[in-house]
Structure 1
Amino acid sequence: MSVTSVLTRENFKKNAINSDFQESEMNALIESASQVIAPLWPISEFAARNPWMGLEKQSFDEVACWLKDTRDVDIYPSASVILSAKSKGEIDEVFVKMGLQRWLDSHPLKIPRDVAERFCHAALRLDPLPSSLLSSLKLKEMADGLSGLNTERTESFFKQPISSFIENQDSERLVNTLDHHVIKWCKLYLDDSQAGWTMPNREEGFYRAWKSLIQYDPALSKKQRERLKSLPQEAHMALKEALFSLKIPESEIQTYLEGHLLSLPGWAGMMLWRSRHSSHEHALLTDYLAVRISMEWALIKPYLPLTNRRSEKKVSITHLLASWIHWGDLTIGEWSQMAAAKQNEYLTFAYRFDEKLRRKLWLEAWEQTHTDRLSQKIISKQPKTNNKKSVLAQLAFCIDVRSEPFRRQLEKEGPFETIGIAGFFGLPIATMELGSNHSQASLPVMLNPQHIIKEAADKNELKLYQHRRQTVNSLSYTFKTMKQNVLASLLLPELSGPWISLQMVARSFVPRRADRFIRNLRETWLRKPNTKLLLNHVHHLDEEIPVGFSKKEKVDYAHQALKMMGLTENFAPFVVICGHGSHSTNNPYSAAIDCGACGGAAGGFNARVLATLCNLPEVREELASGGIEIPEYTVFAAAEHKTTVDELQWIYVPELSEVAQEAFDRIEAIMPKVSHNANAERLAHLPNFTSKLKNPNAEAHRFAKDWSEIRPEWGLARNAAFIIGQRELTQDIDLEGRAFLHNYDWNKDENGDLLANIIAGPGTVTQWINLQYYASTVAPHYYGSGNKATQTITAGLGVMQGNASDLLAGLPWQSVMQSDYEAYHSPLRLLIVIQAPSVYVERLLNNDLAFREKVQNGWVRLASVDPEGHWENW
């Protein structure tokens, strides 16, 4: 039996948790500890998440050091990613040298400056130290004789679960066994109607349901089951008892809880999300920690007390010495002639200029290169004349980076103006489609719906439609029930085999035709009637969220949306509100390539609501009294930009005026060319699209409909900037689909409220998206979700690798990687560019302390363009 421990016996005795430790104190510690993880939405409601959202009061570098220290997770790009970017010309080495000089200037040197610079420049090549040098016996002998470097430090033992330091008879760490058990119970409890049998006593909460079953778990020994059987009935008491039994000092409880949350950040993140979105599960994270730490105590009890050893972080003197020989051009002979004090100074310098710092300097140079090139694109563009040409149509798109190439291609083909705005259009609604009894939130996940908007149809048509829909749902339910029934499942292959086999062959060899046939078959059967929106508020005594809007709310939401778009005058005859959505087949991450902010909801419904509001005579009358006069001939319509195929699908086109009809016809005429050009530009970046002879539109549809396609589109990969300003600032500039674009006119925002709202809302969303892509690229094993081909959908909630991994929280490998060895996404922290005078930016930073912290602590980058076109980095 191998038992590994680094805990002193004194630590077990000193400051152990007191028996009178209060529940309120424990809740406060759990709340603080939960900042190290982020809530995880179900994959069907996929929302981009910043995995470090609770840590932004610390600097990015401090969090990087902490993660490396506690979890051995690197969040700076790897050397291979950096060198690949350098080889593609994405990093100007001038900025690396400038960053190095700043670092040297800010750190007092005890070695000659020229020696330090020579060593640093060589080390910044990021080449690994030769293995032959590191294994040299002469070098090791010399390193063994050096003892003057004072870099060892005693660390908190409790930053990781105690089970991390204990091995069983099979030399496997007990924390792996603990994780396996916790995953099993989390899947049982959180299952979202995927399993045929639900977990007994689930309604009593996670801890109580687990406690009632754990005494019968055959995967545990009899003694372990007996230990767990005697636990208290309440989760907070069980957690307190487990911490007391493990003798965790009160001063270390939060650190210890953090270590357990970071062990399975996906499952813990799902528990955190549920605790915030379910009124009867508000204590779910406490339940989770009570289950996990109680099981840890039951598993490691035979190994207690642990042996008397200290937890120390030691530095490899051999590695530091080898770095001076390899990068500092010193020989072993020259080194041996140095005085001991001088040797210590050299080793200390090499220790401080470590690999993490070197990669940090490269990342900052990469980001500065991107900033410099973007600024050159913007400030070198010839300013347009003040005589604004009349436009035939104005089209408002989501700020999504995928809209930028499509907008650019559209503007090339005619007198069209495009506008950027957050894709829920400022409407805090939940949608209820025709025939559905359930509403779906259609707004950013950090907000809550304030209204439900329903689709309606003629009563007779609705009744027939509901009957047909119920038939389809019944067939689906019957199939699932038979599949999960012991006896019926034996017969099911005989009944369904021919149809499923035919479907498999068709989808594999003729995916476009198969998809078209299945879709047409469904639509022909369902025959959804024409619908209208129920926008007028309906009073119900039992309603939690009102259905529809009051007259004032209709006007307010329309007014707010038009102001956010900067569309308060000079209306074109035809205004199109464009949501966006995607289409892919057999893709667990389909929601991830819809809206990255709105939990996988497409934006078409919101677009239809806003367009309808703006067409209402009573709304226009009130808007006019407030200074926004919409011409009588101007008509609003709604469409949806299908990002996977770069097409515009009309959702709502009312009766058009003569000039609006002309604009509509013009858009319809140019759309095939716009789609062709946008698809050609986008598909050229996909690694599995190689031939220039292929029809881009046809290929785009194939990618969307082929169920074997692991990469139907790149999504928001390579996003790097959020530009807040007038369209003239970026018009005719190829931003390569890497920039979020939000319209903003500082001249119409005297008090800065519009800018503050853009930063608080869309600014937060774009940062979350940016850091999720960043994290999934730099640490795919911890923050990503692995290879799509080997993922398992579990509990109807998310994906795992295999059948017993963490619930994977980030993006799959195929969403950020060009190949197994080359990244496609450039892991750069978001650059926010604001077109406004400096005083506007200063006021924003002074008023929004959270945003100022993000900038100062390195979570986002900030720049501005003043009215004279001068660029300023903040």
Structure 2
Amino acid sequence: MNTTLAKNLYLEKELDAFHLELDDVVEAASKVISPLGPIQTFAARSPWAGLEQQSFEQVAHRLKNVCNVNIYPSDTVFQEAWNRGEINLDFLKQGLAKWLDTQSLGMSLEEAEQYCKAILLDHASSYKLEDTELNRLVKKVNQLKLQIRQNQDVLTYSQYLERLGDGKVVNELNHHIIKWCKLYVDESQGVWSMPNREEGFYKAWRKLVTLDPALNTAIRKQLDELPNDADIALAEVLNSLGIPYADIQEYLEAHLLALPGWAGMMLWRSQQSDKDAKLLIDYLAVRISMEWVFIQPYLPLKEQKIENRARLESLISTCVRYSNLSVQEWSNLPLPELKARLALGFHFDQMNRQRLWLEAWEKTYEHQIKNMVTAKAKQSESHEDQIMAQFAFCIDVRSEPFRRKLEALGPFQTFGTAGFFGLPIETKKLCSTHSHPSLPVMNKPKFKVMETLPKLELNQYEQRMHAGHSLESTFKTMKHNLISSLVLPEISGPWFGLQTVVRSFIPRSTDSAIRKARKKWLRKPSTKLLLDYVHDSKSELPVGFSEEEKVHYVEQSLRTMGLTESFAPLVAICGHGSRSVNNPYASALDCGACGGASGEFNARVLATLCNLPSVRKSLATRGIIIPNDTVFAACEHITSTDELHWVYVPELSDSAKESFEQIKSVLPRVSYEANAERMQQLPNISSKYKNPSAEAKRFAEDWSEVRPEWGLARNAAFIIGERELTKECNLGGEVFLHNYSWKKDQNGELLASIITGPATVSQWINLQYYASTVAPHYYGSGNKATQTVTSGIGVMQGNGSDLLTGLPWQSVMKSDNENYHRPIRLLVVIQAPKEYVERLLKDDSAFRQKVQNGWIRLASIDPDGYWKSWPHN
């Protein structure tokens, strides 16, 4: 190789036109994948967040051409939705008419409509073309010299070979890349870490790959000649492969899309620290270097034959089948009309049809929500003067049924807000060895909040914790020791065997007993939160807040949730989390706004800050007057059992005590009714169970249960408005609900912050569920029963798959043949005057882009109750 030429590749070759260097090209290419963090802190991300400058349709075509992945629901899914009454055909026909208006048909509109409707609804005859008839039509069509081509996207050389019928290089390349990635990112499973790991992925790989017995001597020798630096090696192999400069970004994108999970993990790690900033370049250097050596025997690559004949035959057969003409009439068509009919058939392809079906499904859902909300809103009345307690819940869709039941059973008022409550904090629980960023993953924490105890109590508690962990540590040490591991099965077998039997037959009682025994042993004292500002120079983040920051974040949180007046005697800040056993995806059921953890810590922080006299005094000068007898408490909504657990209850005033007792009296009924509604949606639930709350606990505590709850499946809309707008609506646990009053937001700042924060998180959740449903083999993670937890950071299917990025089959599917999640894009509904929405779209270019490019759908309700849909381009 000409190393000098390779080094100067980005400086000399067409540099004037592109002005990009390698780092810029790799960063631009990385937009096609999504950062993938460890599964222990699973946080929903849209797999297409970096591609929203393109339309949904454009991205769908690109992924289909490069990865053979269709991100539209399948025809079968649409058929099932239609059978369930979820798609109104009037909307389908309206979408078709709109599409036809954009086409230059060259034929009558009536005939074009007939063809398109026939293929959309599949109301065709069973007529099949004979070979002679087909050959005659092909011969006639050839006079038109049509070129029926797929879009020409850039493929990797290994993918190009696969298209030619030889997938050996793709399989071998992926096998080796997966092996090396597993070694490098391992955090818990390997006894020995990868040698030279501290030097970075590429350098560690380069030193070890020459010793890899799975590669022959010639390949190892070629790899041994690679440059020492990843960026130089990447430039060199790209040059050796002869990739045109203009195609380099797309070539890198194709490689990233080949294993989006492992590439996403490398991208995520590159964003966490400066030490790993070049990790994605390392990954691409390793992958493309290995492709280069594997591809040598196949060079020069043969030019791919254009399969025009097969595509043309398929197109002609489809056009004839769904038209109102016989084969003889087709044969007699004038060439211009024949061309027009084939052009219509070519442009009205499967992906276009699926787009119309999806939009009709989404419009049907919007129509249903519109009718429900506008009708029920008129019936709702405010009873603020009777309110005994107020609850601030996370916008999570699972909160909606619980809020509805709670409001129906007492003089209570609920609010919806993002579950991290606007606190940009990193949390550290007592004696924990690590901190957790408890905020949306697109944000970085600004403060750390820690639990603490007086020194004597802390020492005693640490001793009990150490004793509790010592047995586990001893077991792990023995397992990794050559001699002790030989006798370990005999020592541990009886205990683990007994535990397996007991937990299998009486899971609820067993888990409850284990929890109680552990709690009794640890005897965790009541802790204090370190909320006062302390900045140790050794710490990256300050611990606690200044006095001004305390007031600022409390004010911001109260205004965002719409609670600035008419305070009840008791205000409960409700975080949420889930409970399940033997579940790698446990964090996926926790609070997405808290980075895949429970929101109870944030709830406790906010409630404690709200009770500080100094904070209340400052708030009063800003127009938020909290009565002296109003007390803030914190609790956790357990979504898998629909229980409310109190985590912070300070000394209560007399009126707050009365409220607290009233809440406790109704909570069992709220839990019972919420579980009764939720549990019947789970598959394979026995109709004979008597107590839904007990059944919910059994599901949560059974280590063989693959679906302890549905999570956020069927999420479909995000409503921003007054609670009265939806209070009388049964939204079925499918809607994110965020309180908002446009009357208190004259400059639109609150609405803007809701859109950039909670609405974005909700959109990511929606698109992750969508992607895991429509393309489970690529964006999901398969069946839980066959997953393998690998390297302590994620799951694979078997021992050699991509690192799986999305949700398991059990989170979105009811059975092998029936979806539970409805794959439609998120509908954002804003209760505000039209001018507010217009201002939002003008000022927020990112949100405007999401709407225009079809990544999100938008509607608004003005003060007169008029519903307006905001179309995308």
- TM interval, shorter chain, is over 0.9
Q: In the alignment, what sits opposite 2:17?
A: none
Distance 1:329 1:283 in 2: 60
The amino acid that maps onto 2:682 is L
Q: In the alignment, what sits opposite 1:439?
A: 435
1:832 counterpart SS class? strand
1:403 aligns with 2:392: no
Tell me if the contact between 1:129 and 1:322 (Cα under 8 Å) persists in the aligned partners: no
Measured after TM superposition, the shift of residue 341 of structure 1 is 2.7
1:301 aligns with 2:265: no
Tell me if the contact between 2:387 and 2:411 (Cα under 8 Å) persists in the aligned partners: yes
Distance 2:163 2:147 in 1: 32
Q: Please report the TM-score for the alignment, with normalisation by the length of structure 2.
A: 0.96
Measured after TM superposition, the shift of residue 509 of structure 1 is 0.7
Tell me if the contact between 2:561 and 2:740 (Cα under 8 Å) persists in the aligned partners: yes
Distance 2:359 2:760 in 1: 22
Q: 2:590 aligns with which of 594, 606, 613?
A: 594
The amino acid that maps onto 1:190 is V
Cα displacement string for residues 737-774 of structure 1 (whole angstroms, at most 9, x for unaligned residues) = 11100000111111100000000000110000000011
Cα displacement string for residues 490-530 of structure 1 (whole angstroms, at most 9, x for unaligned residues) = 11111111111111111111000110121122212211111
Tell me if the contact between 2:164 and 2:304 (Cα under 8 Å) persists in the aligned partners: no
Mapping of residues 332-731 of structure 1, within 5 Å:
332-381=327-376, 382-385=378-381, 388-691=384-687, 693-731=689-727
Distance 1:288 1:597 in 2: 30
Q: In the alignment, what sits opposite 1:745?
A: 741
Q: 1:21 aligns with which of 10, 25, 33?
A: 10
2:814 counterpart SS class? coil
Alpha-carbon spacing, 1:161–1:20, altered in 2? closer, same or farther (3 Å): closer
Q: 1:258 aligns with which of 244, 253, 256?
A: 253
Cα displacement string for residues 241-271 of structure 1 (whole angstroms, at most 9, x for unaligned residues) = 1111111111111111011000000000110
Cα displacement string for residues 524-552 of structure 1 (whole angstroms, at most 9, x for unaligned residues) = 22111111111111242322100111111
Q: In the alignment, what sits opposite 2:71?
A: 75
Q: In the alignment, what sits opposite 1:840?
A: 836
Q: In the alignment, what sits opposite 1:230?
A: 225
Alpha-carbon spacing, 1:438–1:294, altered in 2? closer, same or farther (3 Å): same
Instruction: State the aligned residue count.
Output: 859
Distance 2:665 2:178 in 1: 55
Mapping of residues 164-175 of structure 1, within 5 Å:
164-166=159-161, 172-175=167-170
The amino acid that maps onto 1:63 is V
Tell me if the contact between 2:380 and 2:728 (Cα under 8 Å) persists in the aligned partners: no
Cα displacement string for residues 794-843 of structure 1 (whole angstroms, at most 9, x for unaligned residues) = 01110000100000001111111111111111111100000111111011
Q: In the alignment, what sits opposite 2:33?
A: 37
Tell me if the contact between 2:689 and 2:695 (Cα under 8 Å) persists in the aligned partners: no
Alpha-carbon spacing, 1:436–1:313, altered in 2? closer, same or farther (3 Å): farther
Cα displacement string for residues 775-801 of structure 1 (whole angstroms, at most 9, x for unaligned residues) = 111111111111111100001110000
Alpha-carbon spacing, 1:617–1:313, altered in 2? closer, same or farther (3 Å): farther
Alpha-carbon spacing, 1:660–1:491, altered in 2? closer, same or farther (3 Å): same
Distance 2:124 2:436 in 1: 52
Q: Which moved more, 1:466-475 or 1:413-422?
A: 466-475
Q: In the alignment, what sits opposite 2:272?
A: 277
Distance 2:708 2:865 in 1: 39
Distance 1:416 1:384 in 2: 14
Cα displacement string for residues 105-127 of structure 1 (whole angstroms, at most 9, x for unaligned residues) = 22122112221111111111147
Gaps of 5+ in 2: 13-19
1:299 counterpart SS class? helix
Q: CA RMSD in A?
A: 2.1
1:107 aligns with 2:103: yes
Q: In the alignment, what sits opposite 1:861?
A: 857
Measured after TM superposition, the shift of residue 696 of structure 1 is 0.5
Q: In the alignment, what sits opposite 2:800?
A: 804
Mapping of residues 39-54 of structure 1, within 5 Å:
39-54=35-50
Tell me if the contact between 1:457 and 1:532 (Cα under 8 Å) persists in the aligned partners: yes
The amino acid that maps onto 2:276 is E
Measured after TM superposition, the shift of residue 319 of structure 1 is 1.9
Q: In the alignment, what sits opposite 1:321?
A: 316
Distance 1:445 1:855 in 2: 22
Distance 2:381 2:483 in 1: 76
Alpha-carbon spacing, 1:716–1:313, altered in 2? closer, same or farther (3 Å): farther
Distance 1:316 1:404 in 2: 50
Measured after TM superposition, the shift of residue 480 of structure 1 is 1.7
The amino acid that maps onto 1:348 is A
Alpha-carbon spacing, 1:136–1:311, altered in 2? closer, same or farther (3 Å): closer
The amino acid that maps onto 2:103 is H
Tell me if the contact between 2:382 and 2:724 (Cα under 8 Å) persists in the aligned partners: no
Tell me if the contact between 2:177 and 2:287 (Cα under 8 Å) persists in the aligned partners: yes
Distance 1:472 1:739 in 2: 42
The amino acid that maps onto 2:273 is S
The amino acid that maps onto 1:547 is V
1:577 counterpart SS class? strand
Distance 2:135 2:516 in 1: 73
The amino acid that maps onto 1:200 is P
1:578 counterpart SS class? strand
Measured after TM superposition, the shift of residue 325 of structure 1 is 2.9
Alpha-carbon spacing, 1:57–1:658, altered in 2? closer, same or farther (3 Å): same
Q: In the alignment, what sits opposite 1:3?
A: none
Distance 1:315 1:625 in 2: 76
Measured after TM superposition, the shift of residue 238 of structure 1 is 0.6
Tell me if the contact between 2:72 and 2:351 (Cα under 8 Å) persists in the aligned partners: yes
The amino acid that maps onto 1:29 is V
Q: In the alignment, what sits opposite 2:138?
A: 143
Q: In the alignment, what sits opposite 1:288?
A: 283
Tell me if the contact between 2:42 and 2:588 (Cα under 8 Å) persists in the aligned partners: yes
Measured after TM superposition, the shift of residue 314 of structure 1 is 7.1
Cα displacement string for residues 455-482 of structure 1 (whole angstroms, at most 9, x for unaligned residues) = 1123222111101111222322221222
1:690 counterpart SS class? coil
1:419 counterpart SS class? strand
Measured after TM superposition, the shift of residue 230 of structure 1 is 0.9
Cα displacement string for residues 194-228 of structure 1 (whole angstroms, at most 9, x for unaligned residues) = 21110000000000000010000011010000000
Gaps of 5+ in 1: 1-11
Q: In the alignment, what sits opposite 1:851?
A: 847
Q: In the alignment, what sits opposite 2:208?
A: 213
1:322 counterpart SS class? helix
Distance 1:579 1:306 in 2: 58
Alpha-carbon spacing, 1:709–1:339, altered in 2? closer, same or farther (3 Å): same
Distance 2:631 2:267 in 1: 45
Cα displacement string for residues 127-185 of structure 1 (whole angstroms, at most 9, x for unaligned residues) = 7996x83675543553355312624348657x222022337999542111000000000
Alpha-carbon spacing, 1:476–1:693, altered in 2? closer, same or farther (3 Å): closer
Q: In the alignment, what sits opposite 2:772?
A: 776
Tell me if the contact between 1:427 and 1:557 (Cα under 8 Å) persists in the aligned partners: yes
Alpha-carbon spacing, 1:170–1:759, altered in 2? closer, same or farther (3 Å): closer
Measured after TM superposition, the shift of residue 624 of structure 1 is 1.0
Distance 1:283 1:485 in 2: 35
1:367 counterpart SS class? helix
Alpha-carbon spacing, 1:675–1:353, altered in 2? closer, same or farther (3 Å): same
The amino acid that maps onto 1:774 is Y
Tell me if the contact between 2:631 and 2:656 (Cα under 8 Å) persists in the aligned partners: yes
Distance 2:494 2:131 in 1: 66
Tell me if the contact between 2:438 and 2:602 (Cα under 8 Å) persists in the aligned partners: yes
Q: Which moved more, 1:133-142 or 1:45-54?
A: 133-142
